Amino acid sequence: MILFNLKKNYAMLSGRFLLTCLVFVSFTHLQAQGDLPSDFLSKEFHKERREQLRRKLPKNSVAVFFANPVRNRANDVDFIYHQDPNFYYLTGYKEPDAVLLIFKDNQTAANSKTYNEIIFVQPRDAMREMWTGRRLGDKGVMDQLGFEQSFNNGEFKKYNVDFSKFDQVLFYDFFNDTRDNPADSSDLYNLIEQFKVKVNYPSKDQLTVSREQRKNNLNMTGLDGYMRELRGVKTEEELEFIRKAVLVSCQGQIEVMKALKPGMSEREIQGIHEFVFKKYQAEDVGYPSIVGAGHNGCILHYIENYKPEVSSKELILMDLGAEYRGYTADITRTIPVSGKFSADQKAIYDIVLNAQEAAMKKAKPGVSFAELNQITKQVVNKGLKDLGIIKSENENHLYYPHGCCHHIGLDVHDKGMRDALQENMTFTIEPGIYIPENSDCDPRWWGISVRIEDDFRITKNGNEHLSSYAPRTTDDIEATMKLPSPLDNFVLPELKGKK
C-alpha cells in the first residue's frame, strides 16, 4: 500500500500541471481493450430497464437515484466500492458520486431539445485516476452506457430542474450515513445536500408526518415497489450471469469436498472456494463467505471463519456464493470433515434434505414464499419429533429459526415480490436445523448444524434447479469427497522466516 493520502494532498498536487498532462496522456494508454472483462450487461439492457421503470412511474413524476456511498475501512483506506444495485441495474455505472433522474414525460431543455433522463457522474481526473482507478466521465457514460445526456456531478448544483412542478418526486430516503470528503465539493454528500435544497426536503420534525399531511410532492416509499416488480423477474441477459455465478459456486463446493482434510482451518477452506470462484473469472463473493465447523455452524451468518483446525468429528457448513458481473449465487453445502456422515449427522441431514425436496416439488408460478416456508417447517418439525429432539410437532423451537426462501440477483437477498412466484424469478430454498450446545435435547445432537441451500428459477409450470451440479445427498457428497483434488499436491513450505 502506497502511503499517500490523495484526499488530503490533492490540492497541493493540482498545481503540477505539466505532470498532470503527462499522466493523462499515459493513462489513456492504460485503457487498452482486454484490460477489463467485456461481458457486462449491455447498454441496451440498462436502457430498457429505465424504460420499463418509466412506464410504471405515476403521471407527471420524476424518479431520482443516488449511487452508493464510499465506505471507509480505516484511516485512509476505503472498502472496495460496490455500486447500489438499483443504480447499477438502471445504468451499468460502477463508480461513486453520481445521481440519476428518470422523468415520466419528456422535458424540454433551454436549447429546445427534449430528454427524459439525465445522469450526473464523477468527472475524468488524470491524477485521481492514477491513484484510484479509471473513470468513465460524462462522455464515457454516453459512449459506453448509452445515455443521451450526461453531465459532470459538479453541474448538478446549478442544473435547473424545477422539482416543484411534478406531482411526485420519487426517491429512496437517505440514511444519513454518507461522509463528506472536504476535497470534493460534488461528492455524494454534496449531491444529496444539493438535492435536498432543490426539493425542499422536510426537516426532521416534518418527516414524522405522512406525505399527505406534509402536502409536498416527495414520495420516499413508492419507488421500492416498482424496483421489486422489475428486478424480481430476470431477463435472459441476467439469467446468463446468474447461471454462471451458480456454476462457479457449485465448482467451488466440489473442489472443497475433494480437498478437505481434518486439520485445515476454516479460513483455508474459505480460501479454496474463493480461489476457485476467481479462477473462473468471478469478481468477488456476493456476500461474506460463511464457513463454520461444528458449533460455529449454528451461527447463521458466521463470517469470522476463524477456527484454526477443523476436526474429523465435525460437520462443516459452507454458505458461499460467487458474484459474477454483479449477480450472486447463494449455495450452502454441509459436509462431514471425515468424509463420512455419522448416523446422527445423517439423520439430521436427511430431515433437512426432505424439507428442501418437499418445497422443490411445490415451487411453481403462483406459489408464495410463505407457502414454501410452511412446507419446510412441517417436514423439519416432524423429523425433529421423530428423533425425540422436540416433544410435539407444534412445539415452538429455535432449531430452524429462519425462512426458507429469498430472491437472488444483484443482491443476495434480492428485490422481488414474495407473494406469488412468476416465471424467471430466481430464488433459494434453504431449510436448516441448528442444534447449539446446551439445547434442551440429548447432548448427542449438540453441535450438529445442517443447512442445504440451492438456487432455482421458476419456469412456466414448475422450477429449474440451477445448482443441481453441486452434490447434495449424503451418498453423492461422500462419493465426491473420495475423489482426488488438484490441491492434494499443493504443499507450501513450512514458514521459516529470514535465513
Would you tell me which residues interact with ligand GLY (CB under 6 A)?
A: 287, 319, 330, 412, 430, 453
Q: Which residue is nearest to Mn ion (CB)?
A: 319
Taking the complex as a whole, the smallest distance from the CB of residue 268 to ligand GLY amounts, in Å, to 20
All cell numbers assigned to 223: 419507488
Positions in 328-347 near Mn ion (CB under 5 A): 330
Select the residue interacting with Mn ion from 319, 323, 411, 478 (CB under 5 A): 319
Query: Which one, 88 or 427, has the nearer CB to ligand GLY?
Result: 427
- CB of residue 398 to ligand GLY, shortest distance in Å: 17
Question: Closest Cα partner for 36 from 121, 133, 123?
Answer: 133
Supply the DSSP symbol for 336.
E
Quote the least distance from Cβ 351 to ligand GLY, whole Å: 19
Q: For ligand GLY, which residue has the nearest CB?
A: 319
Distance (Å, whole) CA 239 – CA 426? 8
What residue type is assigned to position 389 of the chain?
I
Task: State yes or no: residue 91 binds Mn ion (CB under 5 A).
Answer: no
Q: Choose between 138 and 453: whose C-beta lies nearer to ligand GLY.
A: 453
When the beta carbons of 58 and 403 are compared against ligand GLY, the nearer one is: 403
What phi-psi label fits residue 408: left (phi over 0), alpha (psi between -120 and 50 degrees) or beta? beta
Q: Which does 287 bind (CB under 5 to 8 A by kind): ligand GLY, Mn ion, none?
A: ligand GLY
Per-residue x/- mask for Mn ion, residues 427 to 446, rule CB under 5 A?
Answer: -x-x----------------
478 interface partner picked from ligand GLY, Mn ion, none, CB below 5 to 8 A per type = none
DSSP 36-98: S-S-SPPHHHHHHHHHHHHHHSPSSEEEEEEPPPP-EEETTEEPPP---HHHHHHH----SS-
Work out how close the CB of 461 gets to ligand GLY at its nearest, in angstroms, rounded to a whole number: 27
Among candidates 293, 281, 276, 209, which has minimal Cα distance to 244? 281
Give the β-pairing of 114-121 and 150-152. parallel
Asked if residues 300 and 276 have their Cβ atoms less than 8 Å apart, the reply is no
Residue 346: burial class (beta carbons within 10 Å; 0-12, 13-18, 19+): middle
CA–CA separation, 309 and 23 (whole Å): 49
The one segment of 138-146, 215-223, 317-325, 372-380 that binds Mn ion by CB under 5 A: 317-325
User: Least distance (Å) from ligand GLY to the CB of residue 72?
Assistant: 25
187 vs 430, which CB is nearer to ligand GLY?
430
Site for Mn ion, rule CB under 5 A: 319, 330, 428, 430, 453
